Amino acid sequence: MPPGQPEDCSPDATALPEDPEDLSPGTAAERTRLAWERTAITFGVVGLVMLRDEPVAGLIVLAVTPLIWALARYVSAVPPPGAQARARRLLLVAVAVTGVAVVAAVAALLGHGGPVRLP
Amino acid sequence: MPPQGAGVTIGAPGKRRRGGGTTSSHDEHQESQSGEPGEKEPDIRFTLANERTFLAWNRTALALVVAGLGIVQLLPPFPRVPWGRHVLGIPLIALGAIVSVTAYLEWRRTQTAMRRSEPVPQSVLPRILVGTITGVAALSAVVLLVSAVR
């Protein structure tokens, strides 16, 4: 840095930060928590849709909804969770969504004139 | 001190922050718990953005599952094509599972790249999605034609 140039981190009340998030750094965590909650709501919707024709499968999926909602809380936890804890929780979501897809595929194949018939 | 915005990779330590005197805990970089030596946890905001992308793909996956299930359970059967609903719905449900698993693998790949201050790899998910949806659209046209002509 050339001499005489002001310090990069000197307070400058008039300048806006480069990233709007710097004004309120908490918004990133808040947006992520909202994204988790939207995901939980989507699970609930899928569960309700399945409930119509496959009550057992629908109830299983509905039971996952509060779990995903609970995971939303860890985003703003203090202290923030470590890298491994974060990876485990996201893996849980991926496993849950894959499980819902498997349940839906079984329901589609077995019910409603599907190609697979139980003996 | 490097100039602002000099970094070409996301998560490179020390490339941002100017905020007039306000320091916050999210700017601290920690040594990775699981990674190799020399890897650093990226700025928490990048970690959170990566997580939101993962969640958005999972909501897309759930929407695909609901769409597939809706086709099988809610549509009336196609006249003269008894297998029509299953041919259209089951690929969408399978795509939901594929999107979810791939989203997790991509989240991990991006997180590792950010930890190593490497360029973020390109996502394959848009290509998978476009390919399958195009395929299902073409299949719908075939089912409708067969149903109308036969």
Which pLDDT tens digit goes with each residue over A34-63? 999 999 999 999 999 888 888 888 898 899
Contact B54 A19 (CB under 8 A): no
How distant, in Å, are the alpha carbons of A15, A115, B83, B89, B144 from that of B148?
A: 66, 22, 14, 19, 6
pLDDT band at A28 (very low <50, low <70, confident <90, very high): confident
Whether A4 is in a domain gets the answer: no
Whether B29 is in a domain gets the answer: no
Query: What percent of chain A shows pLDDT beyond 70?
Result: 71
Domains in chain A, number: 1
Q: Residue window 29-48, chain B: list those with CB within 8 Å of chain A.
A: 32-35, 41, 44-45, 47-48
Whether B135 is in a domain gets the answer: yes
Question: Is B80 in the A-facing interface, judged by CB distances under 8 Å?
Answer: no
Whether A115 is in a domain gets the answer: no
* Distance of alpha carbon B12 from the chain centroid: 23
Whether B30 is in a domain gets the answer: no
DSSP 3-state of B21: coil
Q: How far is A118 from chain B (nearest CA, A)?
A: 17
Contact A108 B68 (CB under 8 A): yes
Predicted pLDDT at A99: 93
Whether B122 is in a domain gets the answer: yes
Residues of B in Cβ contact (< 8 Å) with A52: 73
Residues A75-94, mean pLDDT to the nearest whole number: 81
Residue A37, Cβ neighbours under 10 Å: how many? 17
Whether B115 is in a domain gets the answer: yes
pLDDT band at A114 (very low <50, low <70, confident <90, very high): low
Whether A103 is in a domain gets the answer: yes
Residue type, A75: V
- B140: containing domain: 41-149
Q: Look at residue A110 and tell me whether its pLDDT is greater than 80.
A: yes
Predicted pLDDT at B18: 39
Backbone torsions φ then ψ of B136, nearest 5 degrees = -65, -35
Residues A78-87, mean pLDDT to the nearest whole number: 78
Whether B94 is in a domain gets the answer: yes
Residues of A in Cβ contact (< 8 Å) with B26: 25, 28-29
Residue of B nearest to A44 (CA): B62
Residues A79-106, mean pLDDT to the nearest whole number: 88
Q: How far is A58 from chain B (nearest CA, A)?
A: 12
pLDDT band at A117 (very low <50, low <70, confident <90, very high): low
Whether B48 is in a domain gets the answer: yes
Whether A19 is in a domain gets the answer: no
Predicted pLDDT at A14: 57
Q: DSSP string covering chain A, please?
A: --TTSPPTT---SSSPPSSGGGG-THHHHHHHHHHHHHHHHHHHHHHHHHHHH-HHHHHHHHHHHHHHHHHGGGGG-SSPPPHHHHHHHHHHHHHHHHHHHHHHHHHHHHSTT-S----
Nearest CB to B90; choose among A15, A105, A113: A105
Interface test with A, best of B100, B105, B114 (most A CBs within 10 A): B100
Domains in chain B, number: 1
Predicted pLDDT at B60: 96
**Pick the residue with more confidence: A78 or A104?**
A104
Predicted pLDDT at B31: 46
Residues of chain B scoring pLDDT < 50: 1-8, 11-34
Whether B74 is in a domain gets the answer: yes
Predicted pLDDT at B25: 42
Residue of A nearest to B5 (CA): A18
Residues of A in Cβ contact (< 8 Å) with B18: 8-9, 17-18, 22
- A56: containing domain: 25-110
Residues A62-67, mean pLDDT to the nearest whole number: 90
